[in-house]
Homo-oligomer: A and B are copies of this chain.
Amino acid sequence: TAMLPRGRPRALGAAALLLLLLLIGFFLFRGDLDCESCEREASGGGGDPGSLPRSLTPRVLPDERPRSDAGWGYTALGQVSPTMGPYRRGEEEAAADLVSPPQLLQVAIVCAGHNSSRDVITLVKSMLFYRKNPLHLHLVTDAVARNILETLFHTWMVPAVQISFYNADELKPQVSWIPNKHYSGLYGLMKLVLPSALPPDLARVIVLDTDVTFASNIAELWALFAHFSDKQVIGLVENQSDWYLGNLWRNHRPWPALGRGFNTGVILLRLDRLRQAGWEQMWKLTATRELLTLPATSLADQDIFNAIIKEHPWLVQPLPCVWNVQLSDHTLAERCYSEASDLKVIHWNSPKKLRVKNKHVESFRNLYLTFLEYDGNLLRRELFGCPRPPPPGAEHLQRALAQLDEEDACFEFRRQQLTVHRVHITFLPHKPPPPQPHDVTLVAQLSMDRVQMLEALCRHWPGPMSLALYLTDAEAQQFLRFVETSVVLSARQDVAYHVVYREGPLYPINQLRNVALAQALTPYVFLSDIDFLPAYSLYDYLRASIKQLELGSGRKAALVVPAFETLHYRFSFPSSKAELLALLDAGSLHTFRYHEWPRGHAPTDYARWREAQAPYHVQWAADYEPYVVVPRDCPRYDPRFAGFGWNKVAHVVELDAQEYELLVLPEAFVIHLPHAPSLDISRFRSSPTYRDCLQALKDEFHQDLSRRYGAAALKYLTALQQPRGPT
């Protein structure tokens, strides 16, 4: 039975099919065709002008796939192009050349500040979703964006993605002389200096605005480089508005452009040719000349690119309109997409972004929301193609994961501990607190079911906070809207929200605490929990106490903030210690977990606290878990404890082992508000396995303690063997 269409008027022979395959192969894979050469290009691609080159090479899963040796009977092994039909054994040899590892693609993006960092992640998610090639991202960033994106990509660990950072602030002087009225500001102009800013051996790059979304494989865009003539250096899509035609209003004088001009949201740059052609001089000359008669750029780099193209039209390779569908208020993009069943890249090039009005904005918004809310963890899936050795750390992690025993009662705990959560620090705009020697940051963690606590917390704590939020990508967007619509929350710039993306069945409480702790920027931290509201005066009182107790001068102390609880859903918060004591006497308040777990706070000695006028020392005892103020460089929380149980206890043991004094503050207090029991607690209460595992984890924790602190740690084990109350 023949596999090619035959016996039909329009049938094509094997030769024609082969030609088709070759043509497609040519268009898709021209350029470097083997892994070695794309690795070569990659290694030259990293670099950070002005400082040390810094390249993150995230985890690649181990690859031990054998080359095919067994035939597949009737069907071919590989598919090169989506339009390719099946081919038979006889053609396999001819086709083998096409089945080569996918090429490394180079992408450059300019990104500055908190909001652009969020945008660029959505863009990258859309790109990763459709890509089948290894990518090298060149990110030109300010310090804020670099900090965020470096942490993000480091923890994201997407296989076959390399990241290089370039310092945008150092590039500023090259463009800051250009007066610019566009909302993108100085950073908008920075695309002009990419040929000199990117590594000199980088020959080609796709340049993207942060407000574009992919709806297709970026390799198809890269393939358009093959259409460049010898003279062409810039690939661009025509501008989809009448802006450059002029006359939009009286005295509307746009920069010169060829016809409607071109949009620079998506650019294919032949960096090698631009450098040869003296690009830097060329654009500076053009800009200088135009600025003699025009007061400023209106559309940033785009005005200058268009002026150059008007002058040297042979430099531009026009790209199909679907590669930059522009969605502004008065867009003419409909002419493009209404004819195309395929959209490749959409571009939110209006300052209104998603709130822009056009007839089909709902459809485009859906595509954007797809990636905004897409679980980025799912993009960790490996590429079947260009094999790369995993970096040593990742390999170690993989091996540890592979060695876990599924029958172990602690299997889930151990897997959770080995999980590297994707972390987006300072998800929302944030101003670091001014340096003050006794300042203290409230540190806590929460998930979506506790966000309604934040407004009250902000009212009770006027100082800096560092909060880790355990969210899905979709919840992170809900959270964003929640903060934006809250008057109380949006007024605060000193609250840093760090999103830790959900993965795995257990709430990774100590990993979250460590993220929030690591991001605290004051010398001291108040390690709290989200269900507690501090006394209104606590922030001031803590700073005064830190100063008075001279903690700054190397004294190793943990200041204990006594904890109380109300079981009442409606509750009026005491404004002073006297009022609190009155409520305590009236039975409206209790010391925290008085009914179920008094050991947790007994050493705080509430009786003494009632009368105390000055800070007093207390001794560590088994199961003590007070809320404390400590220097920022305090020990981290032990990540083996996840879900419910022993997560804070272990930290206080660690403080004691490191000989922190425990000092109770006489005027400090926090009150726990009631809430529905968390799922983790329900699980703990109902599952014997959970309790068995917790016991195993405690034992291992104590073994580790002995290893680190020797005989001194023996007391923690013996303390536990004392008779005690209910657990």
Contact = CB atoms under 8 A, between A and B. Distances in A.
Contacts of A230: 6-8
Identify the interface centre among A66, A232, A338, A362: most chain B CB within 10 Å of its CB.
Answer: A338
A619 interface: no
A83 B380 CA distance: 26
A472 interface: yes
A6 B217 CA distance: 25
A132 interface: yes
Interface stretch (A41-49, A192-200, A533-541, A565-573): A565-573
A440 interface: no
A409 interface: no
Interface in A1-30: 1-8, 10, 12, 16, 19-20, 23-24, 26-28, 30
A306 interface: no
Given A238-B73, A569-B569, A85 B3 contact: no
A81 interface: yes
Given A23-B12, A569-B567, A452 B366 contact: no
B76 A321 contact: yes
A228 B5 contact: yes
A454 to B, nearest CB: 11
Interface string A233-265: 000011000000000000000000011100000
Contacts of A10: 26, 30
Interface stretch (A183-191, A311-319, A413-421): A311-319
A571 to B, nearest CB: 9
Interface in A304-358: 313-314, 316-322, 332, 334-344
Given A322-B79, A338-B68, A3 B595 contact: no
A229 B83 contact: no
A459 interface: no
Interface in A35-64: 61
A321 B72 contact: yes
A410 to B, nearest CB: 17
Interface of A: 1-8, 10, 12, 16, 19-20, 23-24, 26-28, 30, 61, 65-66, 68, 70, 72-86, 99, 101-102, 132-133, 216-217, 220, 223-224, 226-232, 237-238, 258-260, 313-314, 316-322, 332, 334-344, 359-360, 362-364, 366-367, 369-370, 373-375, 377-385, 449, 452-453, 455, 472, 474, 481-482, 487, 505, 567-570, 595, 674-677, 679, 682, 686
Which 9 A-B residue pairings sit nearest by Cβ, starting from the closest? A74-B318, A569-B674, A363-B381, A78-B339, A65-B338, A366-B378, A366-B381, A341-B385, A77-B339
20 contacts: A1-B232, A5-B229, A6-B230, A12-B26, A20-B23, A27-B85, A65-B334, A75-B318, A79-B344, A82-B216, A83-B223, A85-B224, A85-B227, A86-B320, A343-B384, A367-B378, A369-B375, A375-B474, A567-B569, A570-B595
